[in-house]
Chain A
């Protein structure tokens, strides 16, 4: 039941049913007679639209004219509806379908997610919210600026210095403006400093040994990783603003789509294309595709 209550399409249908009932109720009295009421709301609308265009209030004569124009439009509109002139009018079609879209946007904006919704959303989008790998490491770099063969130099230093102290190792590489020792730096920041090639190569390196050479945009690195923290899902409290924002963005898109899909289920869509210009296979494909 709880799941059903949260179903966006159900909301949409319920609202529609209630609207329809209310509409019947409100319109009962006017249904039989042709009555047009012009009230305060209408007249305010007419005047403010005028003012926006002309930057001054309309005179009484102008108000009278405006009401006449509106009246004529309303009467023609009512009669046109009776004659079904709105049917199959491209512009009216587009406008009405757009109004349905707005309706679902409005609903989406009103439904605020609960903590459980957000937790659920995080689980479903784990990949996106997992924190990056994080490392504590030492690194030295062999720059092509200063060496004829920086790859060979890096390899040689690695082979000759399996047990060299951190203090001594520091001076084996070239001076570039990077830390020798990083504490708890995450892979995203490493990628910004050295490029993704470097940060991605760290994932499978063994710990507590000098390893490499690992290439980056700046040359070859030797790396000694002392600590590696695997990606984990952050707590809702720590990313609440971001999650809420993403949830609402996706929810609106999903709602639009699911309303469309639900409504579409109620239609049998037939492709009736007989033109020899079209491959029958393609027509068959269309037929299947559009009914799914």
Chain B
């Protein structure tokens, strides 16, 4: 009652001042909204790559809030757009280069619970966990609280339902409203989205759900949760019912599978049924992309899976699942890394006619700080408790009776790159759906990749035009070679603010008729005059990073690499995929910047340099 009186009085006070402006505002908003769904193709093919993050958490996420995140969607959007904001720990934060798009993907489970606890909402105070969490909160024990939440959520031992609609509805409304407010067609795309936080016994099966639509449609259905079901098939049903009811469009991007303990790319359904064609088709339809790299490790491949790949051992997290309640075994690996999953997909294409794991690549941060950055020299960490500070490196990130993962093991990765016609929800989403994307570990190199039947070296002088007119871009298909061999154009322009280029590789995977799988990495083009050694490899480019001042020498690499490549071992009867991996010369890892900025003395196990890389969506070959 009191609150109501207050509102009435306050409204009366400001009403006269207000009338006119409100009117104008509404008009303006309507026009900008109608603009954003209509795609105007300015040229036949995309000429610009747009950079973004499809996986960012704000204080709305239960665990992010618990880790100390006190800034929200306003700050997240402002930061992504290139404005300066103040981080949760009071640091002035700004990107060196703005992003073009952002998906705020807060956990749908318990969306709004944290603000409820902070604000002592009555329903929140009645939760069984409230006294324990409140105590953590009051004593400033952010990490303890977050780990408690993650571990109880992972093991499904929370006392309350995390999908309560009275709790979620107002939060979802505010998520949609914020995206509408910051979305500016042509300038910056704020996608509406959320993270479906499926966890089965601590095994991470999260998916980021991204709407093509504007708020009018997206607001009609509250997000699907792990509480509703942990089974992706149920999520797809939910997305299908949304599309059917609203005429909208939505897709899901699986979280890096490295914490799924072999469940991200299984060979049966989550409910234990054998694959049937309908299932395979659904997986391929709803999940056209995969998050190949992020702060919690890189998921392209693993040395155990790719023993002949000297670049395979890159920032892998192979310790266990999300809460380290179960440790990793080697048998799990092939069902949680991108390259092996792409191969398993070919097996099903060969034996059952449909490829369930026909996905393209993106990288994203999964940052829980509201700050979307994958820049090593501007890294705000996985969560607000490990924002820049002298001691963050030795802070345990995950800890259980089975092991510890330290903050120094997190990586400043990654970004999603999308070749689209223009910067709008519709245009970027459509490019995601057709997989014209690549993921990087944070560097913004420009990568082009085309497949066709008759590219020649002369096409390199006009490679974009030739690429599109004589073949397909990354994410596309080549079918029925007959007597021909596939040819590919690879091209990369270095990131002018990052390392120069060591080499461009093509990774090929293929399936024999009996279902056995193979892979091979080809060095296609590289910097300098290095010659292929007796192992068939291009020797290392060397490491020019000066550990005393963090500088490096770009002259050991190339600013630009390009080539036309033909598969020397092509068999037209076998299913295959080809994707590009670009390797930069070694540059400082975020840990080196911490060392230089704060004078940290690390233990020897902490790496100080690394080779940033980019992974494109594959081009698939099929005999039919």
Using CB atoms and an 8 Å cutoff, list the residues of chain A in contact with chain B.
5-6, 11, 14-15, 18-19, 22-23, 26, 41, 48-49, 52-53, 55, 91, 95, 98, 103, 106-107, 110-115, 143-145, 175-177, 191-196, 198, 216-219, 240-242, 244-245, 249
Whether A49 pairs with B122 at a CB distance below 8 angstroms is yes
B165-196, CB < 8 A from A = 166-167, 181-182, 184
The answer to whether A240 and B181 touch (CB under 8 A), given A49-B122, A98-B119, A111-B14, is no
Shortest distance between the CB of B332 and any CB in chain A (Å)? 36
Q: State A193–B97 Cα separation when bound (angstroms).
A: 11
Q: State A191–B98 Cα separation when bound (angstroms).
A: 11
Stretch of B2-10, B38-46, B55-63, B480-488 lying at the A interface = B2-10
Whether B22 pairs with A52 at a CB distance below 8 angstroms is no
Whether B123 pairs with A49 at a CB distance below 8 angstroms is yes
Q: Would you call B599 an interface residue if the criterion is a C-beta within 8 Å of the partner chain's C-beta atoms? A: no
Whether A145 pairs with B558 at a CB distance below 8 angstroms is yes
The answer to whether A52 and B559 touch (CB under 8 A), given A98-B119, A110-B14, is no
Whether A95 pairs with B496 at a CB distance below 8 angstroms is no
Whether A143 pairs with B496 at a CB distance below 8 angstroms is no
- Residues 109-130 of chain B, each 1 if its beta carbon lies under 8 Å from chain A, else 0: 0000000000110110010000
Whether A52 pairs with B123 at a CB distance below 8 angstroms is yes
Name which of B22, B29, B182, B497 has the most chain A CB atoms within 10 A of its CB.
B497
24 contacts between A and B (CB under 8 A): A6-B17, A15-B9, A19-B9, A22-B5, A49-B126, A53-B123, A53-B126, A98-B119, A103-B6, A106-B7, A107-B14, A112-B17, A112-B18, A145-B527, A175-B461, A176-B493, A196-B96, A217-B495, A218-B494, A218-B559, A219-B559, A240-B28, A241-B29, A241-B184
Chain A residues contacting B122 (CB-CB under 8 Å) are 49
Q: Would you call B569 an interface residue if the criterion is a C-beta within 8 Å of the partner chain's C-beta atoms? A: no
Whether B560 pairs with A52 at a CB distance below 8 angstroms is no
Whether A115 pairs with B21 at a CB distance below 8 angstroms is yes
Shortest distance between the CB of A96 and any CB in chain B (Å)? 11
Q: State A98–B119 Cα separation when bound (angstroms).
A: 8
Q: Would you call B20 an interface residue if the criterion is a C-beta within 8 Å of the partner chain's C-beta atoms? A: yes
Q: CB < 8 Å: which of B5, B13, B138, B164 contacts A14?
A: B13
Whether B5 pairs with A241 at a CB distance below 8 angstroms is no
The answer to whether A112 and B5 touch (CB under 8 A), given A15-B13, A192-B97, is no
Chain B residues contacting A244 (CB-CB under 8 Å) are 25
The answer to whether A217 and B184 touch (CB under 8 A), given A23-B2, A112-B25, is no
Name which of A5, A49, A112, A219 has the most chain B CB atoms within 10 A of its CB.
A112
Chain B residues contacting A55 (CB-CB under 8 Å) are 161
4 nearest A-B residue pairs (beta carbon): A217-B496, A195-B496, A218-B559, A112-B21
Q: State A41–B3 Cα separation when bound (angstroms).
A: 14
Not counting A112-B21, A198-B496, a sample of 4 additional A-B residue pairs whose C-beta atoms are within 8 angstroms of each other reads A19-B5, A19-B9, A22-B5, A241-B29
Q: Would you call B555 an interface residue if the criterion is a C-beta within 8 Å of the partner chain's C-beta atoms? A: yes
- Residues 50-73 of chain B, each 1 if its beta carbon lies under 8 Å from chain A, else 0: 000000000000000000000000
Number of A-B contacts (CB under 8 A): 110
Q: State A198–B496 Cα separation when bound (angstroms).
A: 10
Chain A residues contacting B160 (CB-CB under 8 Å) are 53
Q: State A69–B7 Cα separation when bound (angstroms).
A: 30
Chain B residues contacting A144 (CB-CB under 8 Å) are 554-555, 559
Interface secondary structure of A, over-half rule: helix
Q: State A82–B182 Cα separation when bound (angstroms).
A: 49
Q: Would you call B74 an interface residue if the criterion is a C-beta within 8 Å of the partner chain's C-beta atoms? A: yes
Q: Would you call B229 an interface residue if the criterion is a C-beta within 8 Å of the partner chain's C-beta atoms? A: no
Nearest CB to that of A219 among chain B residues? B559
Whether B32 pairs with A241 at a CB distance below 8 angstroms is yes
Q: State A15–B161 Cα separation when bound (angstroms).
A: 39
Q: Would you call B11 an interface residue if the criterion is a C-beta within 8 Å of the partner chain's C-beta atoms? A: yes
- Residues 511-542 of chain B, each 1 if its beta carbon lies under 8 Å from chain A, else 0: 00000000000000001000000000000000
Shortest distance between the CB of A136 and any CB in chain B (Å)? 20
B549-593, CB < 8 A from A = 554-555, 558-560
Shortest distance between the CB of B542 and any CB in chain A (Å)? 16
Chain A residues contacting B166 (CB-CB under 8 Å) are 48, 52
Q: State A191–B95 Cα separation when bound (angstroms).
A: 13
Shortest distance between the CB of B565 and any CB in chain A (Å)? 19
Whether B559 pairs with A176 at a CB distance below 8 angstroms is yes
Q: CB < 8 Å: which of A106, A175, A176 contacts B10?
A: A106
Whether B74 pairs with A249 at a CB distance below 8 angstroms is yes
- Residues 131-171 of chain B, each 1 if its beta carbon lies under 8 Å from chain A, else 0: 00000001000000000000000000000110010110000
Q: State A249–B10 Cα separation when bound (angstroms).
A: 19
Whether B18 pairs with A217 at a CB distance below 8 angstroms is no
The answer to whether A218 and B6 touch (CB under 8 A), given A53-B126, A144-B559, A242-B184, is no
Q: State A228–B20 Cα separation when bound (angstroms).
A: 39
Q: CB < 8 Å: which of A48, A196, A217, A242 contacts B494?
A: A217
